[in-house]
Structure 1
Amino acid sequence: MASQQEETLLSRCEIPIIDLAHIGTDVCPMKSVVRRIGQQLFTALSGKGLAVLVNHGIAEEKLKAVYADLDNFCALPEGCQAQYLRNPVSNHGYVRPGMEQFDATKKELRHAFNITSLTKAAMPAEEEVPEFINHAVPLAQDLTNLSRVLLQALAYAFGVPPATLLACHSGMLQSDGRNASTMRLLYYPPVPPEDEGPCCPSDAVHYTRCGAHSDYGTFTLLAQDSEGGLEVKLNGSDKWQAVGHLPGAILVQPGELLAAWTTNILPALMHRVVVPSGTYARARGRHCVAFFCLPDNDAKLPTLPLKAAPAPAPPAFTPHTHLTLHNRLLNAAHHLQKRFRETYA
């Protein structure tokens, strides 16, 4: 666990905290509250690049249940795990350590189970992980509904009707292949204690948990345990800073598609998960759940009548090479598949 003396962005009150109490549901939102939340989101994401959501209605017990299920899955024999390996077309399935690489200089220690379909056939068998589907599906539905509320809030902030963004994301987790939104369960195992090789320090195996990258989609929701390790480069900064942990909170940050869509007024922050210092912390695992909200594969994203960027002005926008398309029409499927090819071995 992170020491009490460790300074983080949250401990220094540098991450905006947005209270979602009384916001309603995705199908029956409180319009006045959603408008207020939208402006708070826009201000936070354009200024800092991320925000923390509280009173979002997703119980901590649901997260702990899927953490335990993922632990049980990771304890299965490799042969059993192999039948659930990630499908490169649907992105659904198990990603074992080494399959996905962001930092070529270090060994990344990470297990993940990507969920893009909620059908029973897509989940681990009941005799292998008994409660997996019973825990994963309700949580995925909760995160989908939360995403729909946030899409409506952002639409108000962008000056477009709330249904505009919902229409571009109508296929989230519908299991029909038209939208690549993903709930990802993550487990970072304890780090081996060796820091030096048998002959000299240069022989050492250097570990990290997740190399530096930005997310690919519209925005990401992240719930994490208290073990720490997440670091970001804030908007306009080149310094890595620890995020910290707020019990029960969910972190939200834009992805590359939203950054391109808003010409970087809402930037996609670089982030990573490092190995914590200290023998005790290195010997503990870390869990989190990430929900990657993406547009439908063939969505034509509308022109946004965005307001002028708040001071200080955002950095000069250099889009990912694949986002410079004819007439700047962004195809979510093309972008996602290219980024997957860059990431997966």
Structure 2
Amino acid sequence: AGETRAATIEVLRRAGIAPDAWVAVHASGGSARVSAPVRATALVEGALDLCSASPRRYFFETAASFASHPKEAERLRHFASKEGRDELWYYNDRERRCVREFLDDFPSVRMPLGWMLTTAPRLRPRLFSIACSSNATPDAIHLTVTRVRWRTHYGRTRRGLCSDAVAKATAGRQLACWLVNGAIGPTPRDEAPLVLVCTGSGVAPLRSLVQDRVHRARHAGARIAPTLVFFGCRRERGDFLYREEWEALAGDPIALAGHRELRTFTAPSGDGGSDAANSSVSEVCPLEGGFVPAFSRDGDAKDYVQHRIASHAMRVWRMLQAGAAVYVAGSSAKMPQDVRETMEKVVQACGKMSIDDARAYVRGMENGGRYVVEAW
């Protein structure tokens, strides 16, 4: 991005290094280990986050040693002191001040590249869940990326470093990426029902699960159990990700409904409570897959995925009784805990057990790999 390149060139200029210079990195502590030569711009851009992350206190303490202007040096030392902790918070943390902005505010600082690499924020990996099945789309990888934008206390516009770069990328541009294992492990058995709960871009890994299961049913003769999807977003208009795809799957006779012979299961009568568990009487119960959206900002009252789960309590309970695996994906703020507490209440009410037993039930699912959360 243009901002990153401009900041990189400024860092190198102040360090007395030409942007196209070749440099090698020596390990600290007297080690003889030396990196292979690399372009200075590539080193800085690949190692440091100059445009989105805020530096820590030690960065300001170090910068004070390389400020030629007395007032700048004095201010930086104050920031690094115990007495200046609050002022540093107002200047740096609350405003999410980045190194690029720091360079504008302290033009006399000439920090050597070695110290900049040591003290400036590192460029952290941004991990995105794959939103497609490798079986269904073997030649492509789909991502569902929320473009991060917000304003600070004083009205400064902030953008997510990676999401903004991806949003600005044009067709045909190459982006560096790598694969790592996510929280969702091996694909569940086709015969096991699924309860999927997601919000916003958390739809990505669960779309991948559904896409893979449906592909096997359509092209490999797999017999699939019902899948019940709860999807939450702010507004139906503009935020309903993959709407046409979900509506098509919901209208398909197999995709979410499952094969006919897997749409029922035999459960102890009494809805699976402790008394029913000891009963020899059983009943055939339906399993209802489908797609249930929740739009939190479209009505007078906020409607979240946990509210939809509660309103479909018996439907969810039947799926759990039949051995369903539950997958929850989305923001790591309140949603995962709210969904878990709602699941526990569903188990308590429909399973006719105490809240402690309900929590143990969900905990047992988690320990057995049947309750999985992928949140960020």
- When the two structures are superposed, what TM-score results if normalisation uses the length of structure 2? 0.21
- Structure with larger Rg: 2
Which structure has more helix as a fraction of its residues?
A: 2
